[in-house]
Amino acid sequence: MTAQSKIHAAGISGLPDAEVGRLAIRAISVVLSEKGAKQPSMEQQLELLGDAFLSDRDETRHAILARMRQGGVPAEDIIDTVLPQIAQHAGRRWMADDISFADVTIVTARLQETVRALGRGLRDGPSPRREIEARPASERLVPAQAKVLLIIPRVEDHTLGTFVVADQMRRLGCTVDIAMDMPPRQVAEKVRKSRYHMIGITAAGRRTLATTRELVETIKASVTRVTPVVLGGSLVEGGGNLKTMTGVDHVVRDVPSALRACGLMKRNEDGAPGAPGESLQARVGPPGNAV
């Protein structure tokens, strides 16, 4: 498989793979674009970006991000397509013994930091909202007040996708908490104390399945209110009866599918968007307490 064919965000963007690839290639090409200059290959560009995120010089990656923004690349595209590609490329370099696992950890931490910084900028100021604009007129997200808990199991090494998903949900009006490296009982206690409309668990590999099942069983045994539990992550692409194996309520491939499965994205009968300020409770009732 070529590098270009791998340009996708592991299903987290909700956009077709071809569209994700186009956005990523355009965004990354902006970084090194020079009139008359030969454009480096996609792998070379990803490696250069990865080196920037590995460098101790913060100004290097900040300059790259600024160059992308000045070149007309929206922050949403950087979060949803470019940063996941840098993470995937770092993983390939680690598998090839080109960089160490410590290097991968450093890159991932800085990518997560970038997601948070760009996400704050989107929420604090006006910005196009691709997720809303790309939807048919008859389909809109239930506005605001939806509380989501995203869980990264303790054995899960792949964390960036969850931060990207959290940012996508926040852009759509959800309030999102992330539980990372927490034992099941501590997660259940967090669920008891909050009123979540959805709980999402990420799984990149099969070794996460047993931990996921323990999480689901502990939450459902500890909490009386019922909230849908959703499983996502790259493991979903491999198929299999993951619902039975883990006890989750839904297995999904992207953010829109997760929101629809949990009743947080509704179709209006008249094809009109939901009224501004319409509350979640008015549309789907009071929140439950387990996902």
Q: What is the CATH number of the domain that holds 67?
A: 1.10.1240
Helix 101-124 to helix 42-54 angle (10° resolution) is 90
Given this model, what pLDDT does residue 258 score? Answer: 92
DSSP string, 26-50: HHHHHHH--TTPPPPPHHHHHHHHH
Given this model, what pLDDT does residue 217 score? Answer: 95
Q: What is the CATH number of the domain that holds 182?
A: 3.40.50.280
239: left (phi over 0), alpha (psi -120 to 50) or beta: left
Given this model, what pLDDT does residue 6 score? Answer: 32
Given this model, what pLDDT does residue 49 score? Answer: 83
Let me know whether 81 and 139 are in one domain: no
Let me know whether 118 and 181 are in one domain: no
Let me know whether 171 and 250 are in one domain: yes
Given this model, what pLDDT does residue 19 score? Answer: 46
**pTM reported for the whole predicted model:** 0.70
Low-confidence ranges of the chain (pLDDT < 50): 1-22, 24, 35-36, 127-128, 130-132, 137-138, 143, 268-291
Give 73-131 pLDDT, tens digit per residue: 888 888 988 898 888 888 888 999 998 999 988 999 999 999 988 888 776 655 445 44
Given this model, what pLDDT does residue 72 score? Answer: 82
Given this model, what pLDDT does residue 39 score? Answer: 56
Domain that holds residue 166: 135-284
How many C-beta atoms surround the C-beta of residue 21 within 10 A?
A: 20
Residue 148 · residue 75 · CB < 8 Å: no
